[in-house]
Amino acid sequence: MNKTKIAIIGSGNIGTDLMIKILRLSNQMEMAVMVGIDPLSDGLARAKRMGVTTCHEGIDGLIAMNEWKDIKLIFDATSAKAHLYNWEKVKAFADKKMIDLTPAAIGPYLIPPVNFDSNIDVPNVNMVTCGGQATIPIVAAVNQIAPVHYGEIVASISSKSAGPGTRANIDEFTETTAEAIEKVGGAKKGKAIIILNPAEPPLVMRDTVFTLSEQADRESIKESIHRMVSEVQKYVPGYQLHQEVQFDDVPEDKPVYIEGLGLRHGLKTSVYLKVVGAGHYLPAYAGNLDIMTSAARACGDKICSLMKNYA
């Protein structure tokens, strides 16, 4: 099979883990170049050991390489600020597509089992955040059965798994995830909270999803959530319900106040998740990074497959 040549910009934890996933698991993509800005980074060193061409001069260095002409897909695993610069360079090339793993959100938000089909022809797609990838499928699953007024997610990740990129983008994380809860998950109002847990030994990623929706058949909602969990598990095997779905009534005579929406009543659904990483490059507790790279790899395979079909 002729694989599509791809490049990864960003030789940190996320970029390196993504590279290893593509090398081990992808049947559609071929690593052409691993790009960083630190010639001594572990990611570039590992890429060299694995036989991957490297570049330590960022996107400008990549564009100057002979390999650039054959690359069709670029993953950006840098930072929100860096992505703005990188996309300005890449968008001039009509034959290239970009998958953005930063919170820059220049392109539309993409959650593989929810809205991939509506973003097939978009040149730049955004993978939201780790919390978004873990929780927005659940909000969407509830919304498929009952209109969701409010969706709130709490992502708790090990402090050890939060590198400098994650820490520098905390504000972007909450803003991007909240917006994607609305635009992709379907909630009228979204809120996102991230917790960096300093516990030792490090704990795996835990995510809590609360939705307030119209009243609907609870079994139907539960079944929709279980179906969605199964879809995510196809590309993130360590994604699972931590306990059974819980329901509570918010009666009309005791409504809750939601900023921007006012008083609302209905059905509260509580979903508790955990994400265990695959351990390709990072430890199993770094499920927050694993779900991002796994989702990006799944989207990359789909996009490359479609590119071949259109060619």
The pLDDT tens digits for 279-297 are 999 999 999 999 999 999 9
Sheet containing 97-100, strands listed edge to edge, beginning at the edge strand earlier in sequence: 53-55, 29-35, 4-9, 73-76, 97-100, 124-126
Right CATH for 4-127+290-310 from 3.40.50.720, 3.55.40.20, 3.40.120.10, 3.40.50.300: 3.40.50.720
Q: How far is CA 254 from CA 13, 134, 251, 268, 275, in A?
A: 47, 31, 5, 13, 35
- Between CA 277 and CA 130 the distance in angstroms is 12
Which residue of the set 55, 130, 299, 304 is catalytic?
A: 130
Helix (H, G, I), strand (E, B) or coil at 53: strand
d(C-alpha 118, C-alpha 114), whole Å: 9
- What per-residue confidence (pLDDT) applies to 311? 55
At 87-96, the pLDDT tens digits run 999 999 999 9
Rounded to 5, what percent of the chain is helix, strand, coil? 40, 25, 35
Residue 85 contacts by C-beta under 8 Å, 6 or more apart in sequence? 59
Q: Is 55 a catalytic residue?
A: no
Which helix or strand (DSSP H or E) is residue 44 part of?
Answer: helix 42-49
Computed on alpha carbons and rounded to an integer, the radius of gyration of the chain in Å comes to: 20
> How far from 58 is each of 35, 39, 86, CA to CA, in Å?
6, 10, 9
Domain 130-284, architecture per CATH: 2-Layer Sandwich (3.30)
SS3 state at 10: coil
pLDDT, residue 104, reads: 87
Note the pLDDT of residue 162.
86
Nearest residue to 101 (alpha-carbon basis) of 175, 28, 10: 10
In this prediction, the residues of the chain whose per-residue pLDDT falls under 50 are none
> What pLDDT does residue 30 have?
98
Kind of pairing, strands 205-213 and 148-158?
antiparallel
Domain-wise residue ranges, the chain: 4-127+290-310, 130-284
Q: Which is nearest to 217 in space by CA: 113, 144, 139?
A: 144
